[in-house]
Amino acid sequence: MEYSELLKKLEELIKAPSYHMVGKLKDVPLLLTTTEGVVNLSVLRGDKLDRITKDPIAELANPKPQLDYVPIIRDVERGKELHSIFVVNLKGEEYELASPKMRITSIAYDEKAVVFTGSTQDSTALYMVEDGKLRKIVELPPFSAITDVDGDHIAGYGVFTKNFRSFEIFLADKSGEVKVITPKEGSVNTPSAFKEGKLYFISDYEYSGEREWIYAYDVKSGEISRVKFTYDDLEKSQPTSLSINPDDRLVIASKNGESKLYIDGKEIKTPEGNVTGATKVGDKVYFTHTHLLNKSTIYLHDLRDSTTRVVIDSSASIKGKVEFMKVKNGDVEVPTFIVTPENKKDVGVIYVHGGPWGSVDNSWDTIIASLLINGYVVIAPNFRGSMGYGNKFMLMDIGDLGGGDLSDVVRVRDYIVEKKVVSKVGIMGYSYGGYMTLLALGREPDKWDFGVAGAAVADWVEMYELGDSFFKGFITMVFNGGNKELMKERSPISYVENVKAPLCVIQPQNDSRTPALPVLKYCLRLQELGKKFELHLIPDMGHIPYTVDDTMKIILPAVLFLERETKKEKS
């Protein structure tokens, strides 16, 4: 393939907009989109999207349906994730509310105040902006987040015990008093939103981490009740993970890499794939949907006659086949997607997702799509530590990063080779996936024909030293208290001498999550050892791509590297 043709295909694919329904303001559906090449907020008026934010945004608060505005956060330091808070309304009018220039990890609001969790080098704390004044309310455990505020009550979650496999709910007030709530010691709990004096939350406490359900905590009495719905479709489906919008009684429920949409417990029929967001306006439910071979589509479901139509169709799709299976690795079943494009090459890429608490489900992934359009078979294992298969499975990697999860990835690779799906296999990932790529190349060097590592962790010890309070807390948690000897053992830099496969390293220069310095030291060691590698250091960019240009800077060097390293397969 000529480079011009490859570049054109990639550009068309990456430029195709994505849509994610995030809620509504004054009965106007609100979406996070990538129209016009940047991550932005848009509103749906009729069958047309209107963009209401100008510059790229990093995150937003859960919209309050009774209000006409929503707080958003922006990275104001060239990708370093030092944030400022802005407010935008339905007319597209916006102003800067506060400029704390710290890592903002979550944000919520009501009619009177905006609250957020912010992390500096020294601490993670709960902050509030009220009457134009910013103040710290109370310090929190490092890996904490909030989801809603209602008057004097602020809801969030975090690790408040010495058990790093549990998440507790907390209720804070504006004076800084914090109340920790859990229905059962050792359970995983995530609050959703307040409604009529109750805090709705998701918990696995009745199912020992195998799956979840929805509960309500009465703020006055302290009583916890199991939420019941009029219809039983949702309960019968026994989903492993859930999210709820209490205002609309809309639930998105996931199982085995697919999700379905329910209203008051009754299923709304949706295509194969995943519902990414939904909101109800009168008798209409608007939702966004995606698939590994179909970027994203906006649908409207009419509750009066149970009909569903496309509002805005997907602007990108790929011809191919999606298979889901579970590969045995000892006592663990590894949920795995195999995606085969119509123009298949005899080359497979083991694609390792980020996180580690992420997943590859039947949803569009731009990196996967970029591989598929160039003929690569993509094999995506959801190793232990992945989300969507029960919290017990997700938390199996606590104290074992780079151990059992790496074993799962390697086992899936061996399965693909045994079944002769492809004859040439490499490994690729971004963020935690980049870490797993470097570790796999060093610890299992004879398994791979090539590797691509983006925004990788090369040295856990140095990453900890360079991190702020939030990421120090994360590393302490996942290493079950910060076991430094284990951190060294599970760092790719410890195995760099073993690397055999050609390697492409892609690193944003301003990344504050997986900093560039340890990666550069890793590459310097590769150079000293005479290994075959290439390094792409991306200036003025951090961990998260906010624009089409950012995304292209990550994907283009990876695809060009793969084309060169696998060119023999074209003949």
CB atoms within 10 A of CB 91: 11
Catalytic pick from 289, 291, 353, 543?
Answer: 543
Q: DSSP alpha helices (H): ranges in 467-508?
A: 469-478, 484-489
Let me know if 301 is a catalytic residue.
no
Give the 3-state secondary structure of residue 292.
Answer: coil
- Residue 182 token pair: 């859990």
Burial class (CB within 10 angstroms; exposed 0-12, middle 13-18, buried 19+) of 484: exposed
Let me know if 511 is a catalytic residue.
yes
Catalytic pick from 110, 365, 405, 511?
Answer: 511
Q: Could you tell me if 490 and 519 are in contact, meaning their C-beta atoms sit under 8 angstroms apart?
A: no
Catalytic pick from 431, 469, 491, 512?
Answer: 431
Element (H, E) at 75: strand 69-75
Q: Could you tell me if 251 and 244 are in contact, meaning their C-beta atoms sit under 8 angstroms apart?
A: yes
Burial class (CB within 10 angstroms; exposed 0-12, middle 13-18, buried 19+) of 470: buried
Measuring CA to CA, how many Å separate 131 from each of 185, 216, 330, 362, 533? 39, 31, 58, 44, 54
End-to-end CA distance of the chain: 12
User: Crossing angle for the helix pair 548-565 and 3-15, nearest 10 degrees?
Assistant: 140
Q: Nearest 10 degrees: CA dihedral of 383, 166, 388, 40?
A: -110
Let me know if 543 is a catalytic residue.
yes
User: Crossing angle for the helix pair 432-443 and 404-418, nearest 10 degrees?
Assistant: 70
Give the integer Cα–Cα distance in Å for 353 and 16.
22
Residue 504's beta-bridge partner residues?
452, 534
Catalytic residues: 431, 511, 543
